[in-house]
Amino acid sequence: MSKSHRGVGLRKTPNHGRGTCPVCKTTGIKVIYDYELDGNKVKICKFCKGHFKNEARKASKATPAAEASA
């Protein structure tokens, strides 16, 4: 059966959630993820969200290893 409610939230947003990502400057991409950048809440794309999440994960792994060796 079809899924009639898929994407209903995006249909209600301007331009169906598409725009320019303020981080990577890609145009025509879905910018639907909230992120705090320089003290301002902005909407970013899926790729930038993953990039920031991976950076945070790598930073958290690096911190305990540095403390253990010291």
Alpha carbon separation from 2 to 8, 11, 12, 16, 60 (Å, rounded): 14, 17, 20, 20, 42
pTM for the complete prediction?
A: 0.74
The pLDDT of residue 61: 87
**pLDDT tens by residue, 24-63:** 999 999 999 999 999 999 999 999 999 999 999 999 988 7
